[in-house]
Amino acid sequence: MMISRNTIRRIRRKGESGIALISVLLLIATGSLIALLVMSISKTTSFTVLPFVQLQRSYYVMEGMAQRIQFLISADRELYGTPQQLNVDNYSEYDTDRYLPDAVPHYMDYYGTPIVFTIQDAAGPVNLQGTNFQQALQQFRNFVDDDNEYTDLLEDLNYRITDYIDTDNSPTDNNSFEADEYEELGQLPLPRNGAITDRNEFAYIPELTTIFPVDQDGRLSYIRLIPPASANVTIDGNPDIFGVTDDWLYNACNLEEDELQDLRQAIADFHSVDRIPISESLENASVLTKLNNYVRWDTSGIYTVIIRPAVTDEMGEELEKKLPGRRLVFTYTPSPTSGATNGYVQFYEWMYF
């Protein structure tokens, strides 16, 4: 039986329609996949770029906060004078917040960015500048009655610092280090063979951080800051009470374990939202007597400020939105609110991390 031409044309048209439908569906599916891919790339890029943008923005936030904090410190000093007795000062006696070198956490919103900062005196507990390291190490040696690994390490550190800053290449002791020993450690071109001008350089000296540990930020804040020579500034006097470690308090001030715990709790109460004065919070008043000859309750006049992105509010509650950001530490001498007398503020430390 012969099929008519019209029938053949209809069959062909149906076949062509099916092929066209399949082609359209394939194009739609391909377009959908491309759209999903673009959306996925866009989201991935957003997750990658947003933290980077926030970290870059945090530089401006930190610098802006640094300016604001300097003004607040200057205003506090003009209103109430130079701090004298931080252990008895009561925040509740003032109509405004206080900005003292007492390590109290201050929370602030800087144009939508939650910030927390603390102010401390720059007088760290251990002065290793110049030849002071010999006296400092001897003081630590005096803390211990009998010779042991601790005292042996103190003796080694005395030789190692000496060889680090002297100009010859002959080790002072068998356990000291000169160029050959630093080369074996992969630390050439050490030693400096000159005076250490940045306290963080002490970290290069082997095993020094065993005695003088780094803080939570990796800084050698346990060692007293070394101001630039051009600043003509010397940080004298007893160390800042809020910068010393438990070991230092235990050894230098001869605190018993229960007295040490009492002091730490009193400082925690002072740093809480209640701001209870340390002198009122201490259960054992004799602790203050032991401390007075070894720590300072006033200020050297040189402040160190640490600024961080806040992760909690002042009540200790976690923030719903936490923004990544840099941290900033700077050290300086406060100026009047009208500005520095010579027209500029000199910083002895300015460190992002």
pLDDT digits (tens, 9 = 90+) for 264-279: 999 999 999 899 999 8
Give the model confidence (pLDDT) of 138-152 as tens digits. Answer: 988 888 888 899 999
Cα(342)–Cα(263) distance, rounded to whole angstroms? 41
Cα(124)–Cα(246) distance, rounded to whole angstroms? 14
Q: What is the pLDDT of residue 265?
A: 95
Decide if pLDDT at 153 tops 60.
yes
Q: Which segment of 3-7, 58-62, 306-310, 338-342 scores lowest on mean pLDDT?
A: 3-7
Cα(293)–Cα(77) distance, rounded to whole angstroms? 25
b vs e for 179-194, b when ≥16 Cβ sit within 10 Å of the residue's Cβ?
A: bebbeeeeeeebbeee
The residue among 89 and 289 whose pLDDT is bigger is 289
Q: Which segment of 20-29, 74-83, 301-310, 343-352 scores lowest on mean pLDDT?
A: 20-29
Q: How confident is the model at residue 5 (pLDDT cuts 50, 70, 90)?
A: low
Cα(221)–Cα(134) distance, rounded to whole angstroms? 19
Q: Which segment of 235-244, 296-305, 314-323 scores lowest on mean pLDDT?
A: 314-323
Decide if pLDDT at 37 tops 90.
no
Give the model confidence (pLDDT) of 185-223 as tens digits. Answer: 999 899 999 999 999 999 999 999 999 988 888 899 999
Q: Are 122 and 334 spatial neighbours (Cβ–Cβ below 8 Å)?
A: no
Q: What is the pLDDT of residue 339?
A: 79
Q: What is the pLDDT of residue 229?
A: 87
Angle of helix 149-165 relative to helix 132-142, nearest 10 degrees, comes to: 180
Share of the chain above pLDDT 90, in %: 48
The residue among 82 and 14 whose pLDDT is bigger is 82
Decide if pLDDT at 172 tops 80.
yes
Q: What is the pLDDT of residue 324?
A: 75
Q: Where are the domains of the chain?
A: 55-125+224-242+299-353
User: What does pTM read for this prediction?
Assistant: 0.82
Share of the chain above pLDDT 70, in %: 88
- Find where tokens 């300086």 sit: 332
Q: Radius of gyration of the chain from Cα atoms?
A: 32
Of the candidates 257, 247, 242, the residue with the CA atom closest to the CA atom of residue 144:
247
Decide if pLDDT at 113 tops 60.
yes
Cα(36)–Cα(125) distance, rounded to whole angstroms? 59
Average the pLDDT over 59-69 and give the result. Answer: 95
Average pLDDT, the chain: 86
Of the candidates 124, 49, 52, the residue with the CA atom closest to the CA atom of residue 331:
124
Q: How confident is the model at residue 303 (pLDDT cuts 50, 70, 90)?
A: very high
